[in-house]
Structure 1
């Protein structure tokens, strides 16, 4: 038989529950007690040769783990449906390119499964396709989830910025057709202004995400360092080897652009290979 609890009991339970949730958030941000007491991760200089070695090892991981199954089932259909929806809606057509370009921003989130497969293969553990979902049970999942939310929020802000740039240059009105929109973009000074400003603003967004997420996700999978320390370590890697990190950003952007051309089919290979390679970049960049 259920009884009605008095306000004191209800309040005590609510306060206790809130305390547990706040404690979990605090651990996600700061890391475990053992990691707080331990020496922080140390960034090491990396070179272009390290990047190409990481790509080679990433491709080897891809061949062994066949993690393309995950991306074939999840990422490619979503990206394809979104692109078709944008292209078929005149009002959303101007957002097609920003959405495709912005995919590089959320790439680190979609590649978490590949990081985990590379980590497990390195440790000699099983690497079945279900292993890619093991990060959900990771002690650092709270930090991983918060970082993913931050990157997704950045993507949404980028889309809003792209829409604002379009409205301030060629106008807020929706194009009548694809041909009309192409004429506005490539046939007018306002259109070229939109391209230049959009690329400049997009570069700032991409650089910020690259610096904060390059090794953050792999580090959180490897150690319970907490979100703050993981992001700080990633920024330190970018500060220690700025040219090499910039080159990695160009490699990722170029690979995603080329992979997106054939109806996004190339992403089936490009995404997991880049994800696996990023794990090996982390191993080289963080002591």
Structure 2
């Protein structure tokens, strides 16, 4: 039976995988490889990712109905902070394709059998905390500029934002703060989730390796962040539906970016279900 472990691996060790220095061209190549993965069976990948746009619509509907118009945009922008977690099943599909294994959509669900699942959920919890913190900060910024009384209608809210000095302060400061949150997520998770699927190294090693990859490759990782931002913006049109295509492409590309950034282990890739039954 596998040993329960979260922060380190099954032997209570924290691994420090070797990082490669890559070029911006290799980042673009990873994106193209992700696009190629998506082209193989796009219908079921889109199906898997429909939860993302649907959840976005639900969040917007909920916030509008609850008279929480000021946090609609923070919800839309902040929801992307959870993207790396939602794409875990897609990393698994790309991993299996690389290993020459069956890539039927049901294998995306095999992540639940991974011995690294506790660590994956722990890093996911970190993202959830960042998401909630971002929403609270965004709400606090609005209150500091406009007071605690929410706008009564959408037209009033839009007038506040675009026709007042305080509104433009909200736009500028809010986007700067949001950029900081996005940068933290990018730096701490750029390879974290795919690495946990590939190697049961624990949450600490996954986050630490992501940070080292970012420090070693600041320009390529920043370029990757730009690709993600552009794809997510495109994906929100119309009404988040495009995310059903953009999310799987980015998910697959993240796997290939991980392969380029982190030196692989010598052992061959095994199916997740096989890893789950290995002694630990």
TM over 0.5: yes
- What is the match of residue 69 of structure 1? 47
Aligned partner of 1:139 in structure 2 is: 115
CA root-mean-square deviation? 1.6
Within 5 A, what are the aligned runs for 1:158-173? 158-173=134-149
Greater Cα radius of gyration, structure 1 or 2: 1
Q: Could you report, residue by residue, the CA deviation over 1:125-174 in whole angstroms, capped at 9, with x for unpaired residues? A: 11111111111100100100111111011100100000000000122211
Task: Determine which of 221, 233, 239 is the counterpart of 1:257.
Answer: 233
Task: Tell me the residue number matched to 2:269.
Answer: none
Moved over 3 A (4+): none
Instruction: Return the alpha-carbon distance in structure 2 between the equivalents of residues 36 and 63 of structure 1.
Output: 39
Match 2:56 to one of 75, 79, 87: 79
TM-score, with structure 1 as normaliser: 0.87
Instruction: Using the TM superposition, give the Cα deviation of residue 115 of structure 1 relative to its aligned residue in structure 2, in angstroms.
Output: 0.4
- Matches of 1:40 and 1:85 in 2, distance apart? 43
Secondary structure at the residue paired with 1:165?
A: helix
Match of 2:192 in 1: 216
Secondary structure, counterpart of 2:6 in structure 1: helix
Structure 2 match to 1:9 = none
Cα distance in 2 between the residues matched to 1:125 and 1:264: 32
Cα pair 1:65 1:117 within 8 Å, conserved: no
What is the TM-score with the length of structure 2 in the denominator? 0.89
1:244 aligned onto 2:217: no
**Residue 65 of structure 1: how far off its partner (Å):** 3.6
Residues 115 and 278, structure 1, Cα contact 8 Å, conserved in 2: yes
1:181 to 149, 157, 162: 157
CA distance in 1, matches of 2:62, 2:170: 23
How far does the alpha carbon of each residue in 1:48-103 deviate from its partner, in whole angstroms, 9 at most, with x for none?
Answer: 1111111111011111143111112x2222212222333344x2111110011112
Higher relative contact order (CA 8 A, sep 6+): 2
Pick the aligned partner of 2:80 from 89, 92, 104: 104
Aligned length: 260
The answer to whether the 8 Å contact 2:120/2:193 transfers is yes
Contact 2:53 2:239 in 1 (8 A): no
| CA distance, structure 2, for counterparts of residue 80 and residue 259 of structure 1 | 13
Distance between the aligned counterparts of 1:45 and 1:87, measured in 2? 45
Contact kept in structure 2, 1:76 and 1:265, CA below 8 Å: yes
Distance 1:176 1:80 in 2: 21
SS in 1 for 2:13: helix
Q: Say which SS state the counterpart of residue 225 (structure 1) adopts.
A: coil
Q: For 2:174 and 2:55, how far apart are their aligned partners in 1?
A: 24
Structure 1: stretches of 5+ with no match in the other structure: 1-19
Shift of 1:36: 3.1
Contact persistence 2:161–2:168 (CA under 8 A): yes
